[in-house]
């Protein structure tokens, strides 16, 4: 870990073109589908962060081979029927919730006996949400506090009917993956729509999946997936930090290239557009996983409100939306976002405390917070709380503060966006 604080100075303007790293959610899934294939698949523009690397390291334990290039990775799998079942040591998911929960579905489905572990932050995150339905399907699982470490002891899975008690794409995807190996059909009801990359990518890679209203169903997978070539679109959640920079720093214009425009991921753009932000979507490629460019200019933003209904579709963008709210006139409310307490940090606490440190007027509630703006933020030394999205939010705050923001534990951005500070440097002109 880099012990020195990262110093981000106020900027006169930000300008330029940015190609985003591959979407993190889609990258994890592309790797899992390549592991389900028999033969060599090629994935271009895979996210180069530590989380996606955790998925690679875990899949290596199952016997899958990887050849990493600069912009692409070749994945060589002998098919799920020949995955390594005699795993030595445990499977370490690092900091990655997506690796843990999606891989849990595959491991339980295959009846592989192994212990799954993670770092301190991941070991504090709730896993009951996957343990309970997987046990219902027949998986034999042990875990002390419904957290990692989890011990998978085999078991034969049966399809179940299950209504997701939390709006979570990770839980939904875990069960869809488990359903691929369960006898009979698996039905999942989702009361609130969450990101649907797993469903789309199953269709793209030839796996039958059905959706009737809000019930998704899946059958047992008979044959390995056919090896594929796939290009991962840019990450809209990473793009959100540049959208905020372009919007909040005066005299700015940014052009963001080839970003995923999956409708379950761009609610934050629609919200900002509705509230006065000059953000335009361009050159759209309308495939099952659509992508396109985003052009953003400095704008005056009105206060806004986020409620439970849309929270799931912009959950990862809430830290940066909170920063934007500090610059909006009036009261912005964020409610029904309790899920934030179970992310890489307790994000309600880390947002409230870090923004307070910069002088923002913010009030915490059990399920969210209120922000009163606009406030000219002041520089300070602030902790990232070991959370990549908080570190990136603080860096954008540095661009609009009256003096530099110093970020403690700043290198945590490597979780999803190793090139973040380099790009920040390139696009910003110091005051």
Asked if residues 100 and 148 have their Cβ atoms less than 8 Å apart, the reply is: yes
String of DSSP letters for 72-135: EEEEEEE-GGG---S--S-EE-TT-HHHHHHHHHHHHHHT-EEEEE--HHHHTS--HHHHHHHH
Based on CB atoms, which residue is closest to ligand S3P, 55 or 428? 55
CA torsion 359-360-361-364 (nearest 10°) is: -110
First to last CA, the chain: 29
Q: How far is the CB of 170 from ligand S3P (least distance, A)?
A: 3
String of DSSP letters for 335-354: -S-GGGGGSSS-HHHHHHHH
* 96 touching ligand S3P, by CB under 6 A: no
172-201 binders of ligand S3P (CB under 6 A) = 173, 195
Of residues 11, 25, 397, 428, which one binds ligand S3P by CB under 6 A?
A: 25
Clarify whether 316 is annotated catalytic: yes
* 99 touching ligand S3P, by CB under 6 A: no
Of residues 96, 100, 170, 354, which one binds ligand S3P by CB under 6 A?
A: 170
Q: How far is the CB of 131 from ligand S3P (least distance, A)?
A: 14
* 148 touching ligand S3P, by CB under 6 A: no
Rounded to an integer, what distance in angstroms lies between the CA atom of residue 332 and that of residue 348? 15
* 316 touching ligand S3P, by CB under 6 A: yes
Based on CB atoms, which residue is closest to ligand S3P, 262 or 298? 262
Marked catalytic residue, from 316, 370, 383, 387: 316
Largest CA-CA distance found in the chain, in angstroms, rounded: 63
* 321 touching ligand S3P, by CB under 6 A: no
* 267 touching ligand S3P, by CB under 6 A: no
Part in contact with ligand S3P (CB under 6 A); list of ranges 34-42, 67-75, 166-174, 202-210: 166-174
* Structure tokens, 301: 């933003």
- Active-site annotation, residues: 316
**Residue ranges in contact with ligand S3P by CB under 6 A:** 25, 97-98, 168-170, 173, 195, 315-316, 339
């Amino acid at each position: 870990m880099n012990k020195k604080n990262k110093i981000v100075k106020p900027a006169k303007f930000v300008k330029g073109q940015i190609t985003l790293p591959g979407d993190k959610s889609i990258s994890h899934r592309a790797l899992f589908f390549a592991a389900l294939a028999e033969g060599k698949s090629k994935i271009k523009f895979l996210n180069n962060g530590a989380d996606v690397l955790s998925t690679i390291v875990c899949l290596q334990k199952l016997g899958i081979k990887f050849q990493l290039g600069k912009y692409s990775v070749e994945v060589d799998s002998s098919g799920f029927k020949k995955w390594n079942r005699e795993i030595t040591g445990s499977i370490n998911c690092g900091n990655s919730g997506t690796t843990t929960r999606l891989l849990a579905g595959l491991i339980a489905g295959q009846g592989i006996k192994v212990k799954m572990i993670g770092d301190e932050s991941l070991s504090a995150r709730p896993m009951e949400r996957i343990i309970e339905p997987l046990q219902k399907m027949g998986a034999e699982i042990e875990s002390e506090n419904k957290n990692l470490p989890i011990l998978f002891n085999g078991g034969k899975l049966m399809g179940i009917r299950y209504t997701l008690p939390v709006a979570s794409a990770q839980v939904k995807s875990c069960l869809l993956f488990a359903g691929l190996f369960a006898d009979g059909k698996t039905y999942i009801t989702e009361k609130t729509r969450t990101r649907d990359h797993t469903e789309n990518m199953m269709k793209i890679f030839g796996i039958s999946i059905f959706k009737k209203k809000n019930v998704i169903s899946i059958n047992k997978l008979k044959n390995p997936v056919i090896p594929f070539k796939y290009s991962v679109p840019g990450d809209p959640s990473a793009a959100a930090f540049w959208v905020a920079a372009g919007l909040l720093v005066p005299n700015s214009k940014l052009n963001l290239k080839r970003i995923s425009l999956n409708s379950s991921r761009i609610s934050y753009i629609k919200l900002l557009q509705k509230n006065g932000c000059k953000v335009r979507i361009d050159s759209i490629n309308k495939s099952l996983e659509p992508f396109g460019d985003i052009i953003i200019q400095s704008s005056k933003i009105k206060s806004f409100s986020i409620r439970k209904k849309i929270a799931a579709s912009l959950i990862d963008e809430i830290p940066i939306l909170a920063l934007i709210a500090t610059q909006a006139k009036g009261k912005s409310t964020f409610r029904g976002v309790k899920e934030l307490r179970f992310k890489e940090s307790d994000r309600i606490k880390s947002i409230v405390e870090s923004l307070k440190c910069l002088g923002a007027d913010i009030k915490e509630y059990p399920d969210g917070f209120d922000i009163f703006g606009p406030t000219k933020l002041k520089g300070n030394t602030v902790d990232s709380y070991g959370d990549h999205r908080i570190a990136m939010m603080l860096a954008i705050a540095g661009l609009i503060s009256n003096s530099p923001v110093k970020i403690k534990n700043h290198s945590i951005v490597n979780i999803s966006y190793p090139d973040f500070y380099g790009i920040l440097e390139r696009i910003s002109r110091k005051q």
